[in-house]
Chains A and B, each alone.
Chain A
Amino acid sequence: MRVILERSNLLKSLNHVHRVVERRNTIPILSNVLLQANGASLELKATDLDLEISEATPASVEQGGATTVPAHLLYDIVRKLPDGAEVMLKTDEDGNAMSVVSGRSSFRLQCLPQSDFPELSAGTFSHIFRLDAHALKGLIEKTQFAISTEETRYYLNGIYLHTHESGGKLMLRAVATDGHRLARAEVEAPAGSEGMPGIIIPRKTVSELQKLIDDPDIAVTTEISDTKMRLTIGGVILTSKLIDGTFPDYQRVIPSGNDKQLVIDRQSFAAAVDRVSTISSERGRAVKLSIADGLVTLAVNNPDSGSAVEELPADYASDPIEIGFNAKYLLDVAAQLKGSEARFMLADAGSPTLIHDTADENALYVLMPMRV
């Protein structure tokens, strides 16, 4: 293999694929990126056996061929080459090493044969639809923070993507929860998604996907089967296994009878929560909200260091209520809201509370209160 390409193209593609490669690997080939040169392009591919990202980038191919080299090493080398440089990648005759030559710099990297590189066979997909990147990014960003990291409930370690009919309209919904909070976002279901199986997209795939969507104007082709999904974003193809599990019936969790409405300025609320929670020793301490006519009092009490109180004007007309929430969870939700106001729907101190985005009726958040 012998190819010449622009450093910027190579860096962009490596940037897309190299993150898939785990820093520590027990299987050597998984540390490597697969390079395949043919026609007028160089295809790069990386995998961790659950997720595979590949991208083809324009290159002048003097001699076709393929090999694999350590992904992070190659990325670091290319990253440090000067802007605007040209890079030549050339394998030895015996295929044991690859040279990276640019200007006066020259590197030799050890190769592993491309035949050892695992293929994440995609199989056949039952559903295919196109979704604009902007919508997909929105679904991810609004829900990603609520994904659970708890191994015990592996089926919560991702975003549940499925279709749901509401108000006579078919919607494509993303839901994530860790048992303490739940985030739900939806967009109108694109053509082709009707009847798709509900899928759970693993956390790592979600986070890579979010980074790959840098151009909000393109359409993302999404293909789905029961066990895998494939997304084509411009020149990048991401193939991922799905979490093999049943996502819980989240509809039962979303309260419908909460009748106490609190409307509050989002930014000053977030700032106040942030301020009072300074006094708590560890993250995850409760903030107590005392809500009465037109006024919310936020209080944090930490027996080890002291206490904090802040008052905020609010739009509230129901019976007074005292309720506690994890400060971090309140901030996470507040960070997602687009509107200038947050609308809380409360029932009592022990029941889940709903939070609406006043600027986006397709987003919904549920928070479990804490004992205070």
Chain B
Amino acid sequence: MFAVKAMPVNDPSHGFCRDCLALQRGAGPRCHACGSPRLLRHPELYKLHLAHIDCDAFYAAVEKRDNPDLKDKPVIIGGGKRGVVSTCCYIARIHGVRSAMPMFKALEACPEAVVVKPDMEKYVRVGREVRSMMQALTPLVEPISIDEAFLDLDGTERLHGLPPALVLARFAVAVEKEIGITVSAGLSYCKFLAKIASDFRKPRGFAVIGEAEAVGFLAEQPVTMIWGVGKAFAATLESDGIRSIGQLQRMDRNDLMRRYGTMGSRLYHLSRGQDDRRVSPDHEAKSVSAETTFDSDLASTTDLVPVLRALSEKVSARLKKARIAGRTVVLKLKTQDFKTRTRNRQLADPTRLADRIFQTGMQLLEKETDGTKYRLLGIGVSDLSDDERADPPDLVDLQSRKRALAESAIDTLRDKFGRKAVETGYTFGKGRNAHPPEPIED
């Protein structure tokens, strides 16, 4: 497809052009072949193989692709009754719009923005197209979400006839041409820095962080750049006088462990650019859960129980499909003022039954229905195992076997006649909250 394919590339002093992939032997600021200024030069460019790819303003980009009228307008994806921005295009970002911002604020900042309701099915479809293009590059693709993934291109050079950096650049060009959206890529020697790199020159970015420069580069960065350092933890660090990663680099490992526990060890290693996590394509789920945000806040048991039941059934269906079971039931609630409460309870045996998840969730929920208004409820299981040992017959609870049998009968009917063929009294006729939309399979 490209002329460069046959060219041997191993001289680190040669960069390449990100638009036409032409090799740059000289040191000029523009490509000798196409005149583009998007040149990539780096001493470790042809050695690095760990990549992070992230689609730029993914939902907005897909909408702009499908509706050329939107091309030069600020576009915000979001809506529903709980208006928050889920994605916005780069034009909207110039006006100060950010994702997760309440819609009214976003429109205050950018009144001319076009608001588009999210079409999740479409995004999943496009996300899959991008992913299958990644999987053509290497089997080691670890998706993190619908629009981003880690790729390990180690050992693919002979297959592609190109070093990883060029494979990535060719991929970015191909996505633009074939799918019509742009991506940003980060190339480094570990996951942590690859992710930072991909975020560096967004959109249409391609950044490289080499092993030699990692420590020096990190020293200048704020602690929030470290994976797992959120607002709360950053505040803790700040109160200890730590703001930059450089400060962490000067600290002793034991001291960090003493102060921050296991997170301290992570800070120690990541601040020094040490990250040995591998790219694992079949990343196993640690928990299975489902949650829903209500149209209006709910407080009473009468309102919350149908939702809990519906979500328990959803979780159970996913467990059964994957032939796994979970031993810890986790209830999640978000209050009106956005405080999250999670409560969990360990069972004697792993379960995959909606009935047990629901009953356990009920016990946890009972203690939380104290008049507090909630905007979100979620239920899930963690501590996963295969379902071989799940829900063993019980000596004492003789009803449990009957309920399990009833549940498997319901499952059979639903498989045959659809999800609404059989409902329990908990959800029947209980309105929209008790009937969340079908999950989108990703």
Bound pair (A, B): yes
Interface set of A (CB-CB < 8 Å, partner B)? 148-153, 156, 177-182, 248, 250, 252-253, 284, 350, 352, 366, 368, 370-371
Contact of A179 with B348 in the complex, beta carbons under 8 Å: yes
Evaluate whether A180 and B398 lie within 8 angstroms (CB atoms) in the complex, with A150-B348, A151-B345, A152-B347 already known: no
How distant is B213 from chain A, measured CB to nearest CB, in Å?
43
A152 touches B363 (CB 8 A): yes
Residue of B with least CB distance to A284: B389
Nearest A residue to B385 via CB reads A282
Q: Are A179 and B395 in contact (CB under 8 A)?
A: yes
Q: Given the known inter-chain contacts A178-B348, A179-B348, please indicate yes or no for A152 contacting B394, CB distance below 8 A.
A: no
Whether the Cβ atoms of B396 and A177 lie closer than 8 Å is yes
A150 contacts across to B, CB distance below 8 A: 346-348
B329 nearest CB neighbor, chain A only: A152
A150 to B345, CA, bound (A): 9
B346 adjacent to A253 (CB under 8 Å): no
Q: Across the interface, which residues of B come within 8 angstroms of A350, CB to CB?
A: 393
Q: Given A151, A368, A371, which contacts B346 in the complex, CB threshold below 8 Å?
A: A151
User: Would you give 25 A-B contacts (Cβ < 8 Å), ordered by A?
Assistant: A148-B348, A149-B348, A150-B346, A150-B348, A151-B345, A151-B346, A152-B345, A152-B359, A153-B397, A156-B396, A177-B395, A178-B348, A179-B348, A179-B395, A181-B395, A248-B396, A248-B397, A250-B396, A253-B395, A284-B389, A366-B395, A368-B392, A368-B394, A370-B389, A371-B392
* Nearest 6 Cβ contacts at the A-B interface: A179-B394, A150-B348, A248-B396, A253-B395, A179-B396, A368-B395
Which of A179, A366, A370 has a CB less than 8 Å from the CB of B397?
Answer: A179
Residues of A near B389 (CB, < 8 A) are 284, 370
Asked if B360 lies at the interface with its beta carbon under 8 angstroms from chain A, I say yes
Extra inter-chain contacts (15) besides given A150-B347, A151-B345, A350-B393, CB under 8 Å: A150-B348, A151-B346, A152-B345, A152-B347, A152-B363, A153-B396, A177-B396, A178-B348, A179-B397, A180-B348, A180-B392, A248-B396, A248-B397, A253-B396, A366-B395
Q: Report whether B395 and A180 are in contact in the complex, using a CB–CB cutoff of 8 Å.
A: yes
Instruction: List A contacts of B396 (CB < 8 A).
Output: 153, 156, 177, 179, 182, 248, 250, 253
A-B contact count (CB 8 A): 49
Within the assembled complex, what's the spacing in Å between the Cα atoms of A54 and B394? Answer: 39
A371 to B349, CA, bound (A): 14
Main secondary structure of the interface of A (DSSP, over half): loop
Docked complex Cα distance between A181 and B395 (Å): 7
- The B interface is mostly helix, strand or loop, or mixed, namely mixed
Shortest distance between the CB of B398 and any CB in chain A (Å): 7
The interface residues of chain A lying within 8 Å CB-to-CB of B347 are 150, 152
Q: Which residues of A contact B394 (CB under 8 A)?
A: 179-180, 368
Asked if B348 contacts A370 (CB within 8 A), the reply is: no
Q: How far is B348's CA from A242's CA once the two chains are assembled, in angstroms?
A: 22
Contact yes or no, B395 A182, CB < 8 A: yes
Determine the chain A residues whose CB is within 8 A of the CB of B392 once the complex forms: 180, 368, 370-371
User: Shortest distance in angstroms between B112's beta carbon and chain A's nearest beta carbon?
Assistant: 55
Q: Kindly identify, within residues 297 to 324 of chain B, every residue whose CB is under 8 Å from any CB belonging to chain A.
A: none
Give Cα A177 to B398, complex, Å: 14
- Residue of B at shortest CB range from A368? B395
List residues of chain B with CB within 8 A of the CB of A149. 348
The distance in angstroms between the C-alpha atoms of A370 and B347, with both chains bound, is 17
- Write out the residue numbers on chain B whose beta carbons fall within 8 Å of the beta carbon of A179: 348, 394-397
Which positions 374-432 of chain B face chain A at CB distance < 8 Å?
388-389, 392-398
Would A252 and B397 be within 8 Å (CB), given that A150-B347, A152-B347, A180-B392 are in contact?
no
A206 to B: closest C-beta gap in Å = 18
Give the CA-CA distance A41 to B363 in the complex, in Å: 47
In chain B between 335 and 363, which residues have their CB closer than 8 angstroms to a CB of chain A? 345-348, 359-360, 363
Q: Within the assembled complex, what's the spacing in Å between the Cα atoms of A355 and B54? A: 62
Nearest A residue to B356, CB-CB: A152
Question: In angstroms, how far is the closest chain B Cβ from the Cβ of A369?
Answer: 8
Q: How far is the CB of A156 from chain B (nearest CB, A)?
A: 7
Q: Which residue of A is nearest B345, CB measured?
A: A151
In angstroms, Cα B358 to Cα A333, docked, is 33
CA distance A248 to B394 in the complex (A): 12
List residues of chain B with CB within 8 A of the CB of A253.
395-396, 398
How far is B391's CA from A368's CA once the two chains are assembled, in angstroms? 13
Give the complex CA separation of A248 and B346 in angstroms. Answer: 21
Alpha-carbon distance A179/B348, docked complex (angstroms): 9
* Interchain CA distance A24-B116 in the complex, whole Å: 53
State A368–B392 Cα separation when bound (angstroms): 9
Q: Roughly how many angstroms separate A180 CA and B348 CA in the complex, as a whole number?
A: 10
